[in-house]
Structure 1
């Protein structure tokens, strides 16, 4: 009878552990998705910054041309 109780308790602990593992797996999946979103946002922001810098460079060149023209 004692071994039956131990077996039942072990079974309950295994089921609880399985539930915790499933929950942890879900959390890991959520974190992975957030990381992917973060990387995509970083890449998008980096590209926009690059475009803005290119536009600034073009505007600076145009401004220099205007300065020379107006002298």
Structure 2
């Protein structure tokens, strides 16, 4: 496997209100890499591209109950 030299480019959901709530950011350059927006220097979680795609699809389809 070749090392990936792309820089991280994390983005936050447009649904985030910017009030310091529970937000997950995802990396546009590394599919499946996510982090806690409250701890940007903390650990990253790395999911396979297939698992990340399945999660995003499930969210878009409303398969998770709202917890607000």
Superposition TM-score, scaled by structure 1 size: 0.23
Is the helix fraction higher in 1 or 2?
A: 1
Q: Structure 1 or 2: larger strand share?
A: 2
Bigger RCO (CA 8 Å, 6+ sep): 2
| TM, length-normalised to structure 2 | 0.24
Larger radius of gyration: 1
